[in-house]
Structure 1
């Protein structure tokens, strides 16, 4: 917070944030007070320097230098110790998805010195979980962190989510219940518990938890986004069911609710690409195609630090073009763009399925059959189905020959 305030020119407010940080260290890290304060003192020096207060800056630099000397560091202004690696790891975690791998490295370095340190284990597990999309790199770190931090509800709910991903529902429910009955349940715990219920299509339970969290964090763009996703899931469930016409009023009511939540999300965080996509989909449901197109375009030009998000945007824009705008060519273009991105395996699978269904429909409807058959061949090739791909390519060549013979 101090750094953000410094960037906006609020230097006095930045100093106040640093004071709060220093007070926390004195209360919670009394046994390591000086060592843990080194980063904060360095930041004090930085802010004072930019305020033109060279004497105050030098005072904090001296405190850093004297502490490093007392603790036996060979460097004037730097300490090589696991606590510093841990501090750097937390900073990396807070600074976004592109830093999670570096955060893991920092915590791993600290753990080499103190392998059973609860805080180091927690940091490593959280950094691992946040980049664990397709494998189990966070499972054992999360288990260890829970063992060393039995009162930490946040770690327990992350472990529950990972176990759910792996199909270990019974064990996952145990950790989820422990997290939710903890006296220290916080908005972040409620948010991840809601995600657990969303994954189970228990959207009513998810909504209750998200609304509880929102009371404590009313300006959270992410919470508004998740509430919107719950309404979106309810819409999808109704559409999959029977008696659709009789429930159209309910669908429209949920669409309006979801639309409001996604608009609120974007008001709080204008560069939230997936929120633009979700809002566009709700607008498409209401027949507001021009507004939907505008929001899809905003999402398409948003710089996504994670490839699987860009991949997801291409998929959903392709679906909009295929099913709402009835533009197969544009849909194909965006499905193919999505496949060019090295993202999540699940999203790639959905892109291939969408492309396969579209191509098969066009073949069945006798629409540009050569091109559509070749497209089916490409899908089979990308799925690793070599024989099926060859059959499609041979059929396309045969059809090409038949067309040429007519002329």
Structure 2
């Protein structure tokens, strides 16, 4: 007699698949779907947090190695701001794919909060907890991520009616502002806005005023270099210095601003005061050296920079400043009647070393490429200079203002070192064709106009240079001057269609 089926065994089938297996697969899919929903819900909550992960700080705008070293140096010399330094360091570590190191930085931030703000730990921990949540999320440790999201949300409910971790505390605005300043000139406008928001609640807060003044100073720097509205930074710097006269970074920036205003003697008093108060603070020393270099006292600048570099040997900014000083010394020595060749070559080598260090540590420090190429050119190492110019001009992340500056330097290289006026004109015009108003574009315009007028004066009757000057005027929006040039060029070269078309186009644009 044949045995019946085992009651524990499901022999029901749908198609060729046993029902039990289908049920198991359905259960797994349901769990996966629920997991996905839970993960999506967590991500939605994470995006509501106020922390470095939601402030749109992009690593393409910084050299991560250089930024990490800057933060570590700041931790070493400015203990009172360790909380925000450890918070941003955790984010930088994450960008470097070092999440365990990021967690260690956050634990140090927590220790600093407990030490400096024992009475308001929850309020002061919101950014730190937000960073914890994001790092655990990226490590796929979702329960721990959710724990920190909940901590932030519960704290926010106690502090404010704003839901989902969004809370507008002045210290969070300020921390965001300081983080934005760390990420470079693409972020200075946003940094200014953050400090303005913080100051609405605490207008006399020295830290908020310092951040606002620095943001304004940096924006003025950018406006001069890359174009844009120049915002007055003198009064914010004075205000910040009054609120905290021991902040020698502010004193140094105030001195540099006064120097720009041709009030250098007044500015130097602030530098001398800073040297008395913080003789071993590298950030101040860097600004003090910059002041003396611009004053023309390059030897004193070098002395100060060497002292700063001994304290923070990996500082990109200090290496750059030293390179500029050594290059200045070379240029001065070359003006003397009897140039000490060995000393010149030694200084050129020093400049090259420091500029190469900058580029190696911070590849997005674009100005240093032109500085390095120019240092090679001073040493008659023209192939290496050409190689550096080509390398930077071919980069697809080179911002417009920087590219215009590179074209100006490359034009100068062609003009003064390679003795090619035609190539110089070509590259100055390349900078002009980029319409963004900037210091580099202005220098291209001045250089090419001067060179073309000299060529026209020397080579009477050459339509090419007159027509090219017409193009320069056209690119600069000087339509009437351009028309006059094209008319003269056509008299000398009647069959030139390029000049005729340009003239017609200009005349139509004026009459329409």
Aligned to 1:336: 429
Aligned to 2:97: 9
CA distance in 2: counterparts of 1:7 and 1:254, whole angstroms: 37
The DSSP-based 3-state class of the residue aligned with 1:218 is coil
The DSSP-based 3-state class of the residue aligned with 1:130 is helix
Aligned to 1:182: 277
**Structure having the higher Rg:** 2
- Following TM superposition, by how much is the alpha carbon of 1:56 offset from its aligned partner in structure 2, in angstroms? 2.8
Per-residue CA deviation, residues 273-330 of structure 1 (Å, 9 max, x unaligned), is 3222222222223332222111111121345665432221110101111222233332
CA distance in 1: counterparts of 2:422 and 2:124, whole angstroms: 59
Per-residue CA deviation, residues 136-160 of structure 1 (Å, 9 max, x unaligned), is 5221111111111111001111111
CA distance in 1: counterparts of 2:274 and 2:436, whole angstroms: 31
Aligned to 1:138: 233
Conserved? CA contact 1:273–1:300, under 8 Å: no
**Are 1:128 and 2:216 matched, yes or no?**
yes
Aligned to 1:23: 111
Residue of 340, 348, 373 corresponding to 1:247: 340
- Following TM superposition, by how much is the alpha carbon of 1:362 offset from its aligned partner in structure 2, in angstroms? 2.2
Aligned to 2:126: 38
**Matches for 1:68-107 after TM superposition, within 5 Å:** 68-107=156-195
**Are 1:256 and 2:344 matched, yes or no?**
no
Residue of 142, 145, 148 corresponding to 2:243: 148
Conserved? CA contact 1:273–1:298, under 8 Å: no
**Are 1:322 and 2:415 matched, yes or no?**
yes
**Are 1:196 and 2:196 matched, yes or no?**
no
CA distance in 2: counterparts of 1:327 and 1:86, whole angstroms: 51
Aligned to 2:304: 209
Residue of 377, 383, 390 corresponding to 1:284: 377
Aligned to 1:229: 324
**Matches for 1:372-387 after TM superposition, within 5 Å:** 372-377=465-470
Conserved? CA contact 1:321–1:330, under 8 Å: yes
Residue of 437, 440, 460 corresponding to 1:347: 440
Query: Over aligned residue pairs, what C-alpha RMSD do you find?
Result: 2.7
CA distance in 2: counterparts of 1:308 and 1:319, whole angstroms: 17
The DSSP-based 3-state class of the residue aligned with 1:116 is coil
Task: Decide whether aligned partners of structure 1 residues 354 and 18 sit closer, same or farther in structure 2, where only a CA change above 3 A counts.
Answer: same
CA distance in 2: counterparts of 1:95 and 1:296, whole angstroms: 25
Task: Decide whether aligned partners of structure 1 residues 110 and 271 sit closer, same or farther in structure 2, where only a CA change above 3 A counts.
Answer: closer
Deviates more, 1:180-189 or 1:198-207: 180-189
Conserved? CA contact 2:461–2:492, under 8 Å: no
Matched residues, number: 402
- Any gaps of 5 or more consecutive residues in structure 1? none
Deviates more, 1:138-147 or 1:348-357: 348-357
Conserved? CA contact 1:153–1:184, under 8 Å: no
Of structures 1 and 2, the one with the larger relative CO (CA 8 A, separation 6+) is 2
Deviates more, 1:84-93 or 1:245-254: 245-254
CA distance in 2: counterparts of 1:298 and 1:237, whole angstroms: 29
Task: Decide whether aligned partners of structure 1 residues 7 and 258 sit closer, same or farther in structure 2, where only a CA change above 3 A counts.
Answer: closer
Deviates more, 1:118-127 or 1:281-290: 281-290
TM-score (norm: length of structure 1): 0.89
- Following TM superposition, by how much is the alpha carbon of 1:342 offset from its aligned partner in structure 2, in angstroms? 5.2
- Following TM superposition, by how much is the alpha carbon of 1:390 offset from its aligned partner in structure 2, in angstroms? 6.2
